[in-house]
Amino acid sequence: MKKNLKYSLLVAVFLGLCYVYPYVFIPFFLIGLYDVMRNDNRSLQLFKKYFLGNGVLTWLTSPLNLLFDIFSLPYLNKGVYKLEDLPPAHQSEIKELIAAIKTENLGAEIEKYTEGLPRAMFFFKWYQKKVDCPIKVQAFEKDFRFIRTIGISAFNVRSSTTSHFGPLRACFRMLYCINDEKEEGVYIQVGDTKNYWKDEKLFIFDDTLLHQSFNESDHPRYCLFVDFVRPGFLTVINDLFVRCIGAVLPSMRGAFYKRWKVITG
């Protein structure tokens, strides 16, 4: 009842704003409508989540995200990517990170910091800014051309996220499962796409699409977590914006990951 009242109030406020400022709020709504329609499974629940739930920040940034789509031409946004869909220079940096993580034996060290925590995140870089992390991986210290955020996400036994949207798509998200998974209950879902970590350790996607990560197993799941600047004719503009985020919001990790325990040094 309270939730329905809240939704009704928000809708009434927005309709009032559209009436008073139609040249601002109607185009803003239409851009958001275009943005949310990129998702699969266009249900009432999807629209409620986007316009009235945890997708509101993504809606607020939708005009910016539309610009990032334009700056990224001629690379149309596929939503979910294979490594070979990216330009060679992007592929090279991602392969370099994967090769580095394969040589590290981080499981025991990660577990030492995450025991008893449902979900935890280690950051080595945040929008290119180096972060004081208790786990040291020398390869992550490099100044990459396209890779901007590097972290490790840890899901404990039978821990999952809620379905949610990322806020900005100047970058795309790359995940690489560090574990050698054998169970189907450990996966990520983006729209109609389910990536089971036992089948494919690498997954690249636009995280402004609705997505959810699952660990329904009896053991922890660890993933390398990377954001890289989107390729395109005007990649330099996307990158400039990402650098501005790193300069202006160096301490916002906690706000974006408030349901996680962010492990710092």
Whether residue 185 is found in the same domain as residue 54 = no
pLDDT in tens, 18-52: 656 566 678 888 999 999 999 998 898 999 899 98
Do 145 and 237 belong together in one domain?
yes
Query: Does position 6 have pLDDT exceeding 60, yes or no?
Result: no
Quote the pLDDT of residue 16. 62
- Specify whether 50 is located in the same domain as 88: no
The whole-number pLDDT of residue 12 equals 57
- Say if residues 36 and 65 touch (Cβ distance below 8 Å): no
Q: Give me the amino acid identity at 251.
A: S
115/174 same-domain check: yes
Strands 119-126 and 261-263, sheet pairing? parallel
* Rounded CA separation 41/113 (Å): 38
Q: Give me the mean pLDDT over the 208-231 stretch.
A: 94
Same domain flag for 114 and 224: yes
158 and 259 fall within a common domain: yes
Residues 54, 125 within the same domain? no
Residues 162 and 41 in one domain: no
Higher pLDDT, 77 or 255: 77
Q: Are 55 and 225 in contact (CB under 8 A)?
A: no
| Helical ranges in the chain per DSSP H | 2-20, 22-36, 44-52, 56-60, 62-71, 88-102, 107-114, 235-248, 253-256
> Is 184 a residue whose pLDDT tops 70?
yes
What is the average per-residue pLDDT within 1-16?
A: 55
Instruction: Taking residues 236-247, report their average pLDDT.
Output: 78
* 56-96 residue pLDDT tens: 889 989 999 999 999 999 999 999 999 999 999 999 999 99
Domain boundary residue, one of 30, 48, 71: 71
Parent domain of 185: 80-263
Q: Of 19, 44, 71, which marks where a domain is finished?
A: 71
- Final residue belonging to a domain, choices 71, 88, 123: 71
Are residue 85 and residue 209 in the same domain, yes or no?
yes
- What is the number of domains present in the chain? 2
For residues 151 and 124, give the distance between their C-alpha atoms in angstroms, rounded to a whole number: 6
User: Do 45 and 96 belong to one domain?
Assistant: no
**Residues 172, 221 within the same domain:** yes
CATH number at residue 177: 2.60.120.10
String of b and e for 79-109 (b: at least 16 CB within 10 Å)? bbbeeeebeeebeebbeebbeebeebeeeee
Compute the mean pLDDT over every residue in the chain, rounded to the nearest whole number: 86
